[in-house]
Structure 1
Amino acid sequence: MTGTGTGTGTDSSPLFPASVVHVEMFHDPPDAVLFPEEEALIARAVPKRRREFTTARLCAREALARLGYPAAPILRDPRGAPLWPEGVVGSLTHCAGYRAAAVAHRTDLVALGLDAEPNAPLPDRDTLALIALPGERDHLAELAAAHPDLEVHWDRLLFSAKESVYKAWYPLTGRWLGFEEAEVTLSARENSFRAKFLVPGPTVGGTPLTHITGRWHSSGGLVLTSTAVPTFPHPPTH
């Protein structure tokens, strides 16, 4: 696992297993360029969107190079998910002051999810009600009361965790996963989380996938979450 970048940011090394290459940047290089096919995807985008898109693709190309893949356009499917080279799984993310990509060989993992958010409260209670189940809202209140020393906005962390879970879910299923279709439990001291699916999940390694686990990290004004689904999520029995 690797990271690159300049400026104030996060030490995201706990996010992924060693089989994942993770490249992050905290500014937008002025000389970064896209392939023509990628340019066509953002031909009408505003400058902010262009910068996010371009730097995230730059991170992805560097990460893929470290896996041994040549530079090539990274396009997207009809829902906007990145299309990775054959034999690769990956995820992209960007928010203010942060862009990143994570990739791995499909022989090591079947899906990856990565999300970055500002470490700030969600806009309002209506947003929290939209993304959190009643039990999750109680869970967030318990975390805040039990860990006042941790400078984490738990509502934003929950949102990020669900985003990273969806990014791993979608390539495995080709289906949307609503906020209400996965119940997330956050661990404050272990910097981890568990997402239990409330709808039937995909089959991975011959076993129905009922949940996904992940990691989280917070510093430098950001919260980062990640998921990594192994080829065999449960040890085979003999």
Structure 2
Amino acid sequence: MPDVTTVELFTDPPGVHLHPQEAAVVARAVGKRVREFTTVRLCARSALAELGVTPGPILPGPEGAPIWPDGIVGSMTHCDGYRAAAVARTAQVASVGIDAEPHAPLPAGVEKLVALPEERRILDRLTASHPDVAWDRLLFSAKESTYKTWFPLTGRWLDFGDCVITPDPEEGSLRCELKVPGPVVGGRRIDTFTGRWRTAVRGGTRYVATSFVVPAAGR
């Protein structure tokens, strides 16, 4: 992702400390949640350091989205065996969204909640031509990435049915067409997000990752 700094980790390193305000957020959480919360913030701090930014606590806002330092946009994600954060300066990027999921089919019935009829037809074609990819899970991940990209620009909810995702199996690219009025960036309405996807295996963990980036105005 041009202009975006990303840091990934595949384990939870020992001895990582949270800021007191962050620790308070997960004070009553189970161990797995604390480890995810801690490691993904380690990723975020490492990515911010690459930009020359020394962050304070990275706390969730009222809707759960992380609150970034002034002049920074970013996104975080985690699933079993994978944690990542992506950050960028607002001079280059208006918003970024990333998501990772286990690379396995969705549980029974979930695809019906996520996929629009036109997306089901796309998934059927892709499953026939590229059966090694769990396209329903990729679709779910892409819609999560879409929301993470959308929310910082709008402050509003976006339903699964409010966008259509089209993956390109050859280029590893994604296209998201919004079915509702898109955010306005620099006076221009954005009705389409473009992004990337990939599948990978690391340490026995299979995952699918998706991302979208909205450039800053004038870029």
TM-score interval for Structure 1 and Structure 2 normalised by the shorter chain: over 0.9
Q: 1:71 deviation in Å? A: 3.6
**Which residue in the other structure is 1:5 paired with?**
none
Unaligned runs of at least 5 residues, structure 2: none
1:122 aligns with 2:100: no
Q: What is the distance in 1 between the residues matched to 2:120 and 2:171?
A: 20
Aligned-residue Cα RMSD (Å) equals 1.0
DSSP-derived class of the 1:163 partner: helix
**Which residue in the other structure is 1:159 paired with?**
140
Pick aligned residue for 2:78 from 94, 109, 114: 94
Cα displacement string for residues 161-187 of structure 1 (whole angstroms, at most 9, x for unaligned residues): 111111010000000100000011111
- The code of the aligned residue for 1:147 comes to H
- The code of the aligned residue for 1:101 comes to A
1:84 aligns with 2:65: no
Q: What is the distance in 1 between the residues matched to 2:200 and 2:183?
A: 33
DSSP-derived class of the 2:63 partner: coil
Q: What is the distance in 2 between the residues matched to 1:168 and 1:188?
A: 22
Q: What is the distance in 2 between the residues matched to 1:43 and 1:180?
A: 35
Q: TM-score normalised to the size of structure 1?
A: 0.88
| Equivalence map 1:140-219=2 (5 Å) | 140-148=123-131, 151-219=132-200
**Which of structure 1's runs of 4+ aligned residues deviate more than 6 A?**
none
Q: 1:147 deviation in Å? A: 2.3
**Which residue in the other structure is 1:230 paired with?**
215
DSSP-derived class of the 1:128 partner: helix
Cα displacement string for residues 123-166 of structure 1 (whole angstroms, at most 9, x for unaligned residues): 01x20000110110111000111224xx2100000000111111
Cα displacement string for residues 162-215 of structure 1 (whole angstroms, at most 9, x for unaligned residues): 111110100000001000000111111010111111111111121111110110
Q: What is the distance in 1 between the residues matched to 2:196 and 2:183?
A: 21
DSSP-derived class of the 1:184 partner: strand
Q: TM-score normalised to the size of structure 2?
A: 0.96
Q: What is the distance in 2 between the residues matched to 1:100 and 1:197?
A: 26
**Which residue in the other structure is 1:3 paired with?**
none
Q: What is the distance in 1 between the residues matched to 2:52 and 2:38?
A: 21
**Which residue in the other structure is 2:119 paired with?**
136
Q: Answer 1 or 2: which has greater strand percent.
A: 2
Q: 1:219 deviation in Å? A: 1.3
Cα displacement string for residues 40-73 of structure 1 (whole angstroms, at most 9, x for unaligned residues): 1111111000000000001101111111111411
Task: Report if aligned partners of 2:55, 2:69 keep a CA contact under 8 Å in 1.
Answer: no
Unaligned runs of at least 5 residues, structure 1: 1-15
Instruction: Determine what percentage of the aligned residue pairs are the same residue.
Output: 56
Pick aligned residue for 2:7 from 23, 26, 29: 23
Q: What is the distance in 2 between the residues matched to 1:80 and 1:41?
A: 11
DSSP-derived class of the 1:55 partner: helix
Equivalent pairs counted in the alignment come to 215
**Which residue in the other structure is 1:42 paired with?**
26
- The code of the aligned residue for 1:192 comes to S
